[in-house]
Structure 1
């Protein structure tokens, strides 16, 4: 009788254990499901944030690309700056957004349109840049050619100037054998050489103009200057002006030159001259000293 009474109690206990086990399993399953859902949400959020960051970096790269294109300073600079401002505005919107799927989709669609316009502008800007580079190279080449031409012209001009100077120098007539002889003029007309100042009443001055085949023919004028030891000019004492220079001279001599040797002689009357050193200078029509000599009288 006692064994039969204990069976119902055991059955109830077993049933309670089964119920508790089922409840525990249900709780564990529910907790697992919650944890899995949380992981999926975290993964979705992480993925969304990663896409936002990538998109943000892409926009920043495009802004930098615009900066480089604007720096080229082509005719499209204004348009490039306008389109860059649109990208900057889109980037600011993205930074302020939550980065949800709807916003990301909206901003990416807007970016596709902006990128299409940007690609066209960048391509056109690169083409203009290439043309500018080509024009610059052509301009540089032209400048080099012009520089070479100028150098050649300068060289030719210098050569012509040197040649002209050489020809001018070659055309100058050489005055040689300048001599002065003091004489006493007698009433009969005869002239007697003397080296005494008290007896001299004429100075016979002579010089030779050398032959020069490349010199121009025509009249040549020379100014002869005779100076005594006291720096007095003998003779006519006339003055010729050469620019700002004044030349006092004793007499002027004009001859006809025909590319042949010419002997020039002139008598300079003197009166009561003193003993000492005398200096004779010959100047051409330009005032250049072409010959000089000196002599002594007792």
Structure 2
């Protein structure tokens, strides 16, 4: 019996596997992943930057709108009290303006207002400014009307004043037929005699008429009479009723005596007598008399004593 050998027979060798392409794929995947992550990170940073810029722009827009809104409120406050008619209109539209202001303030008070809200606030402020502009134009128009009315009123006042002045002048009385004579008293004053000799004169008598006046009302009229001696000095004595009055020019002047005359409208008053009597002797020369009514000189006369 033959002996069988137990030595194993050699197996044919397997060819070695090439893994290079696998590594290449893995490396490519890794590179692609890294590139993707890098790009994604850059994209996120860009978005973050854009968001930050948007927020900054929104904050800037809100600040600008707040300044514009504050200026609008200042203009609106400045209108109050300038015109009663406009104040009434502002009060009537106060609820509408208040709603607009409330909405604007609501948007401006937000920490993060949207672009849409900012646009809304901008539109509301523009609308408010337009209303304020209308109010300002109304005030300017009303001021022009008031100025025109003031000029017209002043013209009417001046006209009325002129007319009143003319009426007042028309009411001023006019004295005529003015005479001035020296009187000598005898028999204890019971008998009078005219004289031109200064040493014999006891009193000076002024006689005049008041012409008829169709404007002056009936009643007592006060006349101021000024008498001056040959030296141009006013004859005056408080005990005899001397005093002072205002001329039509506003100047203060003294009078010798005053005389109250009862006047009837459209009727003259004839032969009015006013006496001036002094204790001292009368000097020789010309004595002058001026008669005033309401501060206006209405007549004058003179006498010469020898």
What TM-score comes out, normalization by structure 1 length?
A: 0.60
Give the Å deviation of 1:197: 0.9
From the two aligned structures, give the one with the greater helix fraction.
1
In 2, Cα distance between equivalents of 1:29 and 1:251: 135
Q: Which structure 2 residues correspond to residues 129-168 of structure 1 after superposition, within 5 A?
A: 129-168=129-168
RMSD: 4.7
User: Aligned match of 2:282 in 258, 274, 280?
Assistant: 274
Indicate whether 1:199 and 2:200 are aligned: yes
* Structure 2 spans left out of the alignment, 5+ residues: 1-17, 74-96, 247-251
Highest RCO, 1 vs 2 (Cα 8 Å, sep ≥ 6): 2
- Once the two structures are superposed, residues 140-195 of structure 1 have per-residue CA deviations (whole angstroms, 9 ceiling, x without a partner) of 4344434433442333223212211121012212224533122556789784542x
Match of 1:181 in 2: 181
Would the alpha carbon gap of residues 128 and 45 (structure 1) be closer, same or farther in structure 2, given more than 3 Å must change? closer
Q: Helix, strand or coil for the counterpart of 1:214?
A: coil
Tell me if structure 2 keeps the 8 A contact 1:204–1:267: yes
Indicate whether 1:84 and 2:105 are aligned: no
Tell me if structure 1 keeps the 8 A contact 2:172–2:296: no
Match of 1:70 in 2: 69
Q: Helix, strand or coil for the counterpart of 2:131?
A: helix
In 2, Cα distance between equivalents of 1:43 and 1:149: 74
Match of 1:297 in 2: 305
In 2, Cα distance between equivalents of 1:235 and 1:34: 129
In 2, Cα distance between equivalents of 1:177 and 1:150: 48
- Once the two structures are superposed, residues 110-154 of structure 1 have per-residue CA deviations (whole angstroms, 9 ceiling, x without a partner) of x6xx44444444444443443343344334434443443344233
- Bigger CA drift: 141-150 or 30-39? 30-39
Tell me if structure 2 keeps the 8 A contact 1:175–1:209: yes
Would the alpha carbon gap of residues 50 and 280 (structure 1) be closer, same or farther in structure 2, given more than 3 Å must change? same
* Structure 1 spans left out of the alignment, 5+ residues: 1-18, 91-110
Give the Å deviation of 1:296: 3.8
Tell me if structure 1 keeps the 8 A contact 2:218–2:264: yes
Would the alpha carbon gap of residues 231 and 41 (structure 1) be closer, same or farther in structure 2, given more than 3 Å must change? closer
In 2, Cα distance between equivalents of 1:36 and 1:267: 132
Q: Helix, strand or coil for the counterpart of 1:170?
A: helix
What TM-score comes out, normalization by structure 2 length?
A: 0.58
Would the alpha carbon gap of residues 123 and 289 (structure 1) be closer, same or farther in structure 2, given more than 3 Å must change? same
Tell me if structure 1 keeps the 8 A contact 2:181–2:194: no
- Once the two structures are superposed, residues 38-77 of structure 1 have per-residue CA deviations (whole angstroms, 9 ceiling, x without a partner) of 8735753564355335423542343245325532226455
Aligned residues: 255
